[in-house]
């Protein structure tokens, strides 16, 4: 009998993170649903538990190192094991080059970049304590492969995650830990709605304009559903990707070709 594997997903209260948590539960993982919004975290966990899965909801702000470590420790204590962390939480404010402030740079990097570092560190600590390897999966973006207009700080943070993923893969391979990233394109989530609102407003256009402009670049001609991204993450979290590390998989409908 295989022991249930344990995964933790940050930013799992809504959007891509929620879809990842639900998909991993379907794949047989016990899932810690982590979000800074306790209400949405509890809602996702309840949905998983009602469907017959195993989930707990934990509140953590990923920019706070201690909170990330506490969430991983709580997860390990709950199920007696820890196998996969998905550092998914992120924010994407529109940042026109002339208007970038120190505050917005700090906020985006504290969550999108430092949050991933703390997740990696907390996972490594847990894997070492448990005496086995594991999988670390980070959220980058197609904007981490190609700079996106009006998203300078977000794009920079996602490029940084891609670099961090490569270095961590090299540094942690000896511990039996793989480190990969996934790079979504335009996904129908509350976060994208907000980007569309800001980009459309900046262009003096009605809501939906930004989405239409960005969508022109999608080869498959449709926006992504969160489940499309979750399927890619499920592959990275499962045994089929055991021989892959240091990669940043584009799951963007063909916006960026490498």
In the predicted structure, residue 244 carries a pLDDT above the cut 90: yes
For 22-46, what is the mean pLDDT? 98
Q: Are 86 and 79 in contact (CB under 8 A)?
A: no
pLDDT (0 to 100) of residue 2: 57
In the predicted structure, residue 76 carries a pLDDT above the cut 60: yes
DSSP string, 63-91: TSHHHHHHHHHHHHHHHS---EEEE----
Q: Are 153 and 161 in contact (CB under 8 A)?
A: no
In which element (H, E) is residue 14 found? none
195 versus 63: which is more confidently predicted? 63
In the predicted structure, residue 79 carries a pLDDT above the cut 70: yes
Residue 191 lies in a domain: yes
Residue 37 lies in a domain: yes
CA–CA separation, 155 vs 159, rounded Å? 6
CATH of the domain at 33: 3.40.50.720
Residue 103 lies in a domain: yes
For 147-173, what is the mean pLDDT? 97
- For 99-153, write each residue's pLDDT tens digit: 999 999 999 999 999 999 999 999 999 999 999 999 999 999 999 999 998 999 9
- For 5-15, write each residue's pLDDT tens digit: 999 999 999 99
Residue 1 lies in a domain: no
Give 217's pLDDT tier (boundaries 50, 70, 90).
Answer: confident
Residue 256 lies in a domain: no
Residue 258 lies in a domain: no
Is the pTM value of this prediction over 0.85? yes
Averaged pLDDT of the chain: 96
For 180-193, what is the mean pLDDT? 93
CA–CA separation, 105 vs 215, rounded Å? 26
Structural domain count, the chain: 1
CA–CA separation, 193 vs 236, rounded Å? 27
CA–CA separation, 39 vs 42, rounded Å? 5
Name the catalytic one among 154, 182, 235, 243: 154
Does residue 182 carry a catalytic annotation?
no
pLDDT (0 to 100) of residue 3: 81
Determine the structural domain holding residue 181 and report its residue range.
6-251
Percent of the chain with pLDDT over 70: 99
pLDDT (0 to 100) of residue 206: 95
Give 199's pLDDT tier (boundaries 50, 70, 90).
Answer: confident
In the predicted structure, residue 1 carries a pLDDT above the cut 70: no
Task: For residue 90, give Cα distances in angstroms to 59, 61, 100.
Answer: 15, 11, 18
């Amino acid at each position: 009998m295989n022991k249930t594997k344990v995964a933790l997903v940050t930013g799992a209260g809504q959007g891509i993170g929620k879809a990842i948590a639900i998909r991993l539960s379907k794949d047989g993982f016990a899932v810690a649903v982590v979000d800074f919004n306790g209400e949405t975290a509890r809602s996702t966990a309840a949905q998983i538990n009602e469907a017959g899965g195993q989930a707990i909801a934990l509140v953590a702000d990923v920019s706070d190192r201690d909170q990330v470590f506490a969430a991983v420790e709580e997860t390990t204590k709950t199920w007696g094991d820890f196998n996969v962390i998905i550092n998914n939480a992120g924010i994407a404010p529109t940042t026109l080059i002339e208007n970038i402030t120190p505050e917005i740079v700090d906020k985006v990097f504290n969550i999108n970049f430092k949050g991933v570092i703390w997740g990696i560190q907390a996972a490594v600590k847990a894997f070492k304590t448990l005496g086995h390897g594991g999988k670390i999966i980070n959220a980058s973006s197609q904007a981490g492969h190609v700079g996106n207009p009006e998203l300078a700080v977000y794009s920079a943070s996602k490029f940084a995650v891609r670099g961090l993923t490569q270095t961590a893969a090299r540094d942690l391979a000896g511990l039996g830990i793989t480190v990969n990233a996934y790079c979504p394109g335009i996904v129908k989530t509350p976060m994208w709605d907000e980007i569309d609102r800001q980009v459309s407003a900046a262009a003096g256009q009605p809501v939906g304009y930004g989405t239409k402009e960005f969508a022109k670049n999608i080869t498959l001609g449709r926006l992504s559903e969160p489940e499309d991204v979750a399927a890619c993450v499920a592959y990275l979290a499962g045994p089929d990707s055991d021989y892959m590390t240091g990669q940043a998989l584009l799951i963007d409908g063909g916006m960026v070709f490498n």
